[in-house]
Amino acid sequence: MSTVLKQTYYSAEEYLALERSASYKSEFYDGQIYAMTGASREHNLITVNIARELSTQLKQRPCEAYVNDMRVKAAQARSYHYPDVAVVCGAPQFEDGQFDTLLNPTVLIEVLSPSTEAYDRGGKFMHYRKIPGLCEYLLVAQDQPSIEHYVRQGDAWLLTEAVGLEAAVPLDSIGCVLSLREVYDKVPLSTDSD
């Protein structure tokens, strides 16, 4: 998350009206609008690689994967966010007839950036946890092959880590597996892992 645009408080309806006509993306939390920053080359490569892998594995199945521009609403947190990747299995539910705000993601994935890492781990994850149907949340490092995988277990979230290019992350809620070798394909890494 970046800087707050103004100290003015907006309703969710005002935010959506502004966001749908804006030339840039912003997130919303509890009455405030936050402008989003651009992503690095590594961030973009990782996001595309994840989307490619999931899209291939989800073919012929009742699931949809979205990249970057599908807004997700965490209603109980009074927030709207743009995850790097969102997957929904079953019928997608949208806030309205614009079909640009997903209400029922199954899996959400954030690629960590230096400017947003603390928020992705903290406040944003707190908001996402309030989405009733969310089953899995992934935090993907940019500089080394490492994925933190959170799985909902009742009211708790279980963390496992996958580290190294030989590792893989099973996404049981959607019946997919993310190979870190594929996730980090063509991504220049700061360490030679595997």
Q: Is the pLDDT of residue 194 over 50?
A: no
Q: What is the pLDDT of residue 67?
A: 95
pTM: 0.91
* Whole-number CA gyration radius for the chain: 16
Contact 174, 89 (CB under 8 A): yes
Fold held by 39-183 = tt1808, chain A (3.90.1570)
Residue-wise burial string across 46-71, b where 16 or more C-beta atoms lie within 10 A, e elsewhere: bbbbbbebbbebbeeeebbbbbbebb
Q: Is the pLDDT of residue 7 over 70?
A: no
Q: Which two tokens stand for residue 32?
A: 């405030």
What's the CA gap between 42 and 141, in Å, rounded? 10
Task: Write down the domain spans for the chain.
Answer: 39-183
Higher pLDDT, 147 or 37: 147
Q: Is the pLDDT of residue 80 over 60?
A: yes
Q: Which two tokens stand for residue 107?
A: 């899996």
Question: Whole-number mean pLDDT of the chain?
Answer: 92
| DSSP 8-state class, residue 125 | H
Q: Is the pLDDT of residue 6 over 70?
A: no
SS3 at position 147: strand
Q: What is the pLDDT of residue 3?
A: 54
